[in-house]
Amino acid sequence: MLSIEGLVAGYDRLEVLHGLDLAVAAQQAVTVVGANGAGKSTLCRALSGLIKVRAGSIRFDGQDITHASTSARVRAGVIQVPEGRQVFPQMTVLENLALGAFVHGAPRDADLDPIFALFPILRERRDKHAGMLSGGEQQLLALARAMMSRPRLLILDEPSQGLSPKAVALVADAIAEIRRRGVAVLLVEQNLALATAVAQVAYVLENGQSLTHGPAEDILSGSLVADSYLGH
Ligand code: ATP
């Protein structure tokens, strides 16, 4: 479904990704792990079109989106939940969810029902300001808002950041369920418990390239991952 070949991207004179290859199959969750600065967030930005691709290609569902605009990617179903959640604290849960639906016009109850089925806590909190939610609930809201955009590929940049182990477990359950509903997931994650709970395939990123990839359970329990984390 997603196929990245020889991806080169960076900022001004800094090249961060030096020819990255990566693939995500339909209905698959792929996790990308690696030390700080390996280029994980840069990969997310290049995928969602926030930074320009300098060389290589990104294909999504057979379509070349290497140089497509962010909005064209969103319309194609490539939706990113950025690092740090970024829900709007002064807006209610419902208002935050409505923002996720803007791609398709105003949300109807028919759009909200499956979302609330997936995130029952948000139904209870629907009229609360997002800023009043716990960190874990805000992350669920960020996921739910992304789901309102009807993604076909969800890009998640460190959804565990700043969350308690209990909240991480809730987020892991939600992501696993999203994948079971047929959405492919690319998960950048330092939290191995979350990555292991969700992903079928793992890539280890080092210095802007893929060092290795394979079945998530093998890669995430292997010494390479331990080494790349010790390299912090
Ligand atoms: P982390 O877990 O710390 O976010 P990461 O693997 O996501 O690590 P990136 O954020 O992709 O790494 O950063 C890769 C390199 O790009 C780093 O050297 C970083 O300093 C640099 N970098 C990241 N964002 C920018 C930016 N907006 N402008 C310039 N350089 C940046």
Phi, psi of 11 (to 5 degrees): -130, 125
Q: Is 37 in the pocket of ligand 1 (CB under 6 A)?
A: yes
- Distance, CA 117 to ligand 1 centroid (Å)? 36
* Rounded Cα gap, residues 196 and 116, in angstroms: 25
* Residue type, position 48, single letter: S
**Residues of 58-75 as b/e, b for ≥16 C-beta within 10 angstroms?**
bebeeeebbebeeeebbe
Q: What pLDDT was estimated at residue 35?
A: 87
Smallest CA separation from ligand 1 atom 24, residue: 42
Q: Is 159 in the pocket of ligand 1 (CB under 6 A)?
A: no
Smallest CA separation from ligand 1 atom 27, residue: 11
pLDDT in tens, 104-125: 666 677 788 889 999 999 999 9
Which atom of ligand 1 lies nearest, measured to the CA of 39? 11
| C-beta neighbour count of 87 within 10 angstroms | 23
Q: Is 230 in the pocket of ligand 1 (CB under 6 A)?
A: no
Which atom of ligand 1 lies nearest, measured to the CA of 42? 11
pLDDT in tens, 59-103: 999 999 999 999 999 999 999 998 877 899 999 999 999 988 776
**Ligand 1 mutation pick, 8, 11, 203, max ligand atoms within 8 A of CB:** 11
- Distance, CA 95 to ligand 1 centroid (Å)? 31
Q: Is 200 in the pocket of ligand 1 (CB under 6 A)?
A: no
* Rounded Cα gap, residues 76 and 70, in angstroms: 10
Residues of the chain with pLDDT under 70: 103-107, 228-232
- Kindly write down the DSSP assignment for every residue of 90-156, as one continuous string: TSBHHHHHHHHTGGGSS--HHHHHHHHHH-HHHHHTTTSBGGGS-HHHHHHHHHHHHHHT--SEEEE
Q: What pLDDT was estimated at residue 104?
A: 67
- Judge whether 122 and 145 are in contact, CB under 8 Å: no
Q: What pLDDT was estimated at residue 232?
A: 46
Q: What pLDDT was estimated at residue 107?
A: 65
Q: How far is CA 125 from CA 65, 91, 95, 116, 129, in A?
A: 37, 12, 12, 10, 8
Q: What pLDDT was estimated at residue 103?
A: 66
The domain defined by 2-80+150-228 folds into Rossmann fold (3.40.50)
ipTM for the whole complex: 0.94
Q: Is 33 in the pocket of ligand 1 (CB under 6 A)?
A: no
- Distance, CA 67 to ligand 1 centroid (Å)? 21
Question: Please, what is the end-to-end C-alpha distance for the chain in angstroms?
Answer: 32
Q: Is 19 in the pocket of ligand 1 (CB under 6 A)?
A: no
